[in-house]
Amino acid sequence: MSKKLRVLSIIAASTLVAGVAVAPTAQAGTKQKVCVALDTGGINDKSFNELSYAGAKSAKAKGYASSVEYLPAGKSYDENVKKFVDKKCTVIVGVGYALGDAIKASAIANPGIKYIMVDEASGAANVKGLTYKTNENSFLAGYMAAGYSKTGVVATYGGAPYPTVTIFMDGFARGVEYYNDVKNKNVKVLGWDTKTKIGTFVGDFENQVKAKEISVAFEGQKADIIFPVGGSLVVGTVENSLKTKKSIALWVDADAHLAAPKYDSVVMISVLKGLQGSVELAIKSVFDGKFTNAPYVGTLANKGVGLSPLYGKYKTAIPASLQKEVNELAKDIAAGWVPAN
């Protein structure tokens, strides 16, 4: 890198943590009845719902669970969680920040059940929170996007203004800012302001019509790379990109090439969150009798977050020098160093 990297506390401060306490120990080797409460977006969102459920299914395939089932988000998160309690599920997984209150309340009322909370802190002795420093890999994506943009304008938007959404957006914008700093450039970011913390949001994780409208508006302001942080909302953006050919996208959570390869021509790279692996390991800890509420924190260092390989033409279209800079920056962040803005 052209400037020495310095320590910045922003990334560390962005991660939700909780105190550590040991939950009641399960009998080791007991297969669990695993029940997964989904957030909005659906089981086939090619993102956080689908990946989290895949982690539960993987746990069953490896013998840690006797059964796995899910419920789509309904009128009430509390109602879905209660249904699982009534069905005598031994492990209940809540997918998404919005389920945090429902999971915590149920856990306090049912200390004999183990709970896994995706994208939220632990909150109770029998709840294991799974959190992720997605500002780390989003930072890398922002730097790469700034370096590859032909118009000098990039953009991001979110589903809803949850901390687990804005952490991506802020990391992305800060990556662009760092690129501008070290390269003496002026790439503009639409959709998120790192100072005011104000951004552009759909309002939910399902309205792909609005996602497309936001993408069209960004294109009208010359944005040629768009980073949607809203699960399946990315489909609204990439479908628009295929039609207009004015922008390309960054995928979120899942590996787009595996989840939806038909969009390879308009998806440069995916900003990955290790949902499947962390959910599987949390279920395994119950099976092994080693469950605690010590929070899991996915980072670049432990490969809980990361970037996918570049897709298709972007493997060669993105300059090798830019790819090298991003790889070096990833190593620096994983080692505990991040660029100052």
Give backbone dihedrals phi and psi of 241, rounded to 5 degrees, phi first. Answer: -60, -40
327 has a pLDDT exceeding 50: yes
Give backbone dihedrals phi and psi of 256, rounded to 5 degrees, phi first. Answer: -60, -35
- Cα(39)–Cα(46) distance, rounded to whole angstroms? 13
Q: What is the pLDDT of residues 298-312, one digit of tens each?
A: 999 999 999 999 999
* Close Cβ partners of 158 (under 8 Å, ≥ 6 residues apart): 165, 166, 168, 169, 199, 200, 201, 202, 228, 229, 230
Task: Please give the structure tokens belonging to residue 145.
Answer: 């996007």
Structural domain spans, the chain: 10-133+275-298, 134-274+304-334
Name which of 299, 276, 292 is nearest 62 in CA terms: 276
Instruction: Answer yes or no: are the C-beta atoms of 135 and 298 closer than 8 Å.
Output: no
Q: List Cβ<8 Å contacts ≥24 apart for 78-84.
A: 78/102, 78/105, 78/106, 80/37, 81/37, 81/106, 82/106, 84/35, 84/37
Cβ-based neighbour number of residue 102 at 10 Å: 20
Task: Name the pLDDT band for 171 (thresholds 50, 70, 90).
Answer: very high
- Cα(115)–Cα(94) distance, rounded to whole angstroms? 8
Name which of 200, 314, 199 is nearest 256 in CA terms: 314
281 has a pLDDT exceeding 70: yes
Domains 10-133+275-298 and 134-274+304-334 share a fold: yes
Q: Is the dihedral of CA 329, 306, 96, 218 positive or negative?
A: positive
Q: May I ask the CATH architecture of the domain 134-274+304-334?
A: 3-Layer(aba) Sandwich (3.40)
How many residues appear in the chain? 341
Confidence at residue 172, expressed as pLDDT on a 0 to 100 scale: 98
Domain 10-133+275-298 in CATH: superfamily? Response regulator (3.40.50.2300)
Distance of alpha carbon 11 from the chain centroid: 15
pLDDT average, residue stretch 168-173: 98
> How far is the CA of 170 from the CAs of 10, 105, 195, 231, 253, in angstroms?
10, 30, 10, 17, 16
Q: What is the pLDDT of residues 206-244, one digit of tens each?
A: 999 999 999 999 999 999 999 999 999 999 999 999 999
Q: What is the pLDDT of residues 70-120, one digit of tens each?
A: 999 988 999 999 999 999 999 999 998 899 999 999 999 999 999 999 998
Q: Determine which helix (DSSP H) or strand (DSSP E) holds 80, and give its type and residue range.
A: helix 77-86
Confidence at residue 75, expressed as pLDDT on a 0 to 100 scale: 85
Phi-psi region of 191 (alpha: psi -120 to 50; beta: other; left: phi over 0): left
91, β-bridge pairs: 34, 114
Confidence at residue 47, expressed as pLDDT on a 0 to 100 scale: 87
Give backbone dihedrals phi and psi of 105, rounded to 5 degrees, phi first. Answer: -65, -45
Name which of 194, 196, 186, 190 is nearest 214 in CA terms: 190
